[in-house]
Structure 1
Amino acid sequence: MRPAIKLLVTATLLTCTAAFSAPPLTFSYRSADPLPPPVRFGWPIAGAPQVTRPFEAPDHAYGPGHRGVDLTGDVGQAVLAAGPGLALYAGPLADRNLVSIEHPGGLRTTYEPVTPNVAVGQQVVRGQQIGTLDAGHLECTASPPKTCLHWGARRRTVYLDPLSLLGLGNVRLLPWDAPPQ
Structure 2
Amino acid sequence: MRILTVLGLCVVVLFGGPSPVTATPDDYSWPLRPRPALARAFDPPEHDWLPGHRGVDLDAAPGQAVLAAGDGVVAFAGVVAGKPVVSVDHPGGLRTTYEPVLATVAAGRRVARGNPLGTLEPGHPGCGTCLHWGLRRGREYLDPLGLVRGAPVRLKPLRAVGAGP
The answer to whether the superposition gives a TM-score over 0.5 is yes
Q: Which amino acid is 1:71 matched to?
A: L
Which residue number corresponds to residue 30 of structure 2?
A: 43
Q: TM-score, normalised by structure 2?
A: 0.76
Count of residue pairs brought into register by the alignment:
137
The percentage of aligned residue pairs carrying the same residue is 53
Structure 1 residue ranges, 4+ long, deviating more than 4 angstroms after superposition:
168-175
Selected match of 1:165 from 140, 147, 150: 147
Q: Which runs of 5+ in 2 are unaligned?
A: 1-22, 161-165
Q: Secondary structure at the match of 1:62?
A: coil
Structure of greater relative contact order (alpha carbons < 8 Å, 6+ residues apart): 2
C-alpha contact (below 8 Å) 2:84/2:102 kept by paired residues:
yes
Equivalent residue number for residue 117 of structure 1: 104
Unpaired segments ≥5 residues, structure 1: 1-36
1:136-147 maps to which residues of 2 (within 5 A)? 136-140=123-127, 147=129
Is the CA contact 2:146–2:152 (under 8 Å) kept in the aligned structure 1? no
| TM-score, structure 1 normalization | 0.69
Give the alignment's Cα RMSD to 1 decimal.
Answer: 2.2
1:74 aligns with 2:56: no
Cα deviation, 1:90-148, whole Å, max 9, x if unaligned, reads 011111100000111111000000000011000000000000000110221x6xxxx10
CA distance in 2 between partners of 1:49 and 1:138 (Å): 18
